[in-house]
Structure 1
């Protein structure tokens, strides 16, 4: 009788869990796990590269920036995108042409990879769900990331879980070497450049002498805890934007991070106030919602942002950059970038107009930033080809290892 009760309880919990997932009642940011597992039980696929995305729709910006590079890789080895969330999978399938499946159980993914002779798993973020994919022993695992950054998470100890980390340049290799213990950065961090910057327009924007300076304000989100609270939306945002839109010398393009306000409602409120200030100002001031931030770069003269990945991508344009100083206890590393560009503290936000004007007109750190571009990215351009070549090398390395072990 006791055994029967246990079975009933398990079935009820199972039914309840499936109902919660199917009704979309899971906490924000939790993958629903509604996979195609039943259909994939005996399926074999031709793709040799699986890209695992363990996040939800809120985090799709991490994957979207890799679509073009993955499409180039698909021409060589075939790429399958594997999602842990069915809602994210539907969005990804609608946005690009690579095949997409949803897998709810790690055992399903493991068995399909083995049957299909997959050689490489790639990851764009340190999602908790990666652990299930990382258990697959028949492939090599590569972390791609979703951008260079001075955030502490950019040198997370989690990187040791992967066989390789593909990074943009020497800056990332040094970051790992300096901040991680017992990690051979030069053996496991592979510079490939930043494919997302291959078509980036560089150099000053062509602007008439009477044209206003276009300021791209692109703050990051508030983070999950105090140590990662780099966002200026709450501390700087409203006053910064009001100071700029109230000055006829400037136009503001506001590009909030897609996760703004997810963990702290105060940031959502500040974001709404900034949007209202931009809308009220009109006259060329606007909120940017383009999925690809690099499409927005071409129309701006200077960026004001936080300690974040977008600061590094903007660095490659060669145009002036201002980075805010987080007001709290955020963990900010001492880096070459932050030592070079002007910093803006919350108490100095009233001086932002003069700071931005000086940076655009005089650009006093131009030469130092140019040196940083080489350090962080190597050569801007041609990174997609380097990315594909390194993926091909890893696939061949895996195949050689399998042959040595008699598992070809």
Structure 2
């Protein structure tokens, strides 16, 4: 067993070296095209130290960052060459690859940075946090009731941008010694003001389009929110059995990384949808693992989600939503969060999900969702969140420039 493990590890290392060399070659061709012009002095940067598997955390910020960069020169700093290549190909901001801490020092010394933004809690963030001149701002990559959203790590940043009243109450109730009033700014959810074109048109018929978007299995007991291995195949089978539902399956990009059971469950769901599409080509079921998240919010009529940022983004649409109950007793569920108000489905009721989705579309449920939307995001009229994001970023940058 040990020999087999070592052999797989060796193969992975060889593959990583080969991938890194290919990325380095590609970067040499891209860097000159996407470099920050010499005459530009950067005012803000986004620091992203992760490999490409976590780029979903950056992608949702592309358009809000582009809006900010219209008035304030900004760029993305990445620490891995593979992410640098991917970002250079798709991100609207200039991309800088800082391989070493010395590279970061050179960059900071050459620019009058007033803000550094972070989308996750990578431990390498501390290599950037050591610089005193810019303000350090945690953005996160989505609002949710996950335990992660009240991490003590927030104390490392000068500011945390939060979505609304719910986040403020969460931090007030859970963090000890954290001044929520002075260390947070509310911005709503600027991603709600971004329109996404679907990669493929869905058939125009009377089927109900259901988005099933489970989160990943997590890397620790308190984060085991995913329903994929516990509920997934049963729920999908039940939806396919109605003959009236079209399923868009959108797994988390990290699915199966920490637990192979979830990769197997993913493969089973994919096979179910492929078999159903083969039997009924007009059904239009879709396995969506490549496109950017966002278009699904417009295309689907109802959603099944775990306690995750997807559930909260969907909540803002006002359409039918059913939450899954974590099968693991170790997953922390906020008794004051959306799971206390919205309809939920336990593992032993997974087959009932078509009926639960229908019930979730009632008038009383719609009123409940409207109250939750205001509690979590504040004003969601078109353009309001984007304007709040830009205003908050400019406020922080102006304050730091004055200091």
**TM-score, normalised via structure 2 length:** 0.85
CA RMSD in angstroms, aligned pairs only? 2.6
Change (3 A) 1:396 1:318: same
Q: Is the 8 A contact 2:63 2:194 kept in 1?
A: no
Partners in 1 of 2:353 and 2:16 — Cα distance?
A: 47
Q: Is the 8 A contact 1:141 1:164 kept in 2?
A: yes
Alignment of 1:5-404 (within 5 A): 22-24=17-19, 46-199=41-194, 211-282=206-277, 283-289=283-289, 291-328=291-328, 329-360=330-361, 362-380=362-380, 381=382, 382-401=384-403
The answer for unaligned runs of 5 or more in structure 2 is 1-12, 197-202, 278-282
2:364 aligned counterpart, secondary structure? coil
Deviation for aligned residue 1:97: 3.0
Partners in 2 of 1:45 and 1:330 — Cα distance?
A: 47
Q: Is the 8 A contact 2:253 2:289 kept in 1?
A: no
Deviation for aligned residue 1:186: 1.6
Deviations 1:41-92 (A, max 9, x none): xx89511101000111000000010001111111111111000111011001
> Which protein shows a greater Rg?
1
Partners in 2 of 1:223 and 1:278 — Cα distance?
A: 25
Number of residue-to-residue matches in the alignment:
367
2:71 aligned counterpart, secondary structure? helix
Partners in 2 of 1:156 and 1:350 — Cα distance?
A: 35
Partners in 2 of 1:20 and 1:331 — Cα distance?
A: 37
Deviations 1:333-374 (A, max 9, x none): 2123111101110011121122122223x2531111101111
More displaced 10-residue stretch of structure 1: 223-232 or 377-386: 377-386
Change (3 A) 1:165 1:44: farther
Segments of 4+ in structure 1 off by > 4 A?
18-22
Partners in 2 of 1:267 and 1:24 — Cα distance?
A: 25
Partners in 1 of 2:305 and 2:166 — Cα distance?
A: 20
Deviation for aligned residue 1:155: 0.8
Q: Is the 8 A contact 1:61 1:291 kept in 2?
A: no
Q: Is the 8 A contact 2:213 2:306 kept in 1?
A: yes
Q: Is the 8 A contact 1:336 1:372 kept in 2?
A: no
More displaced 10-residue stretch of structure 1: 113-122 or 147-156: 113-122
**TM-score, normalised via structure 1 length:** 0.84
Partners in 1 of 2:314 and 2:195 — Cα distance?
A: 10
1:204 is matched with: none
More displaced 10-residue stretch of structure 1: 379-388 or 117-126: 379-388
Q: Is the 8 A contact 1:215 1:300 kept in 2?
A: yes
Partners in 1 of 2:345 and 2:126 — Cα distance?
A: 39
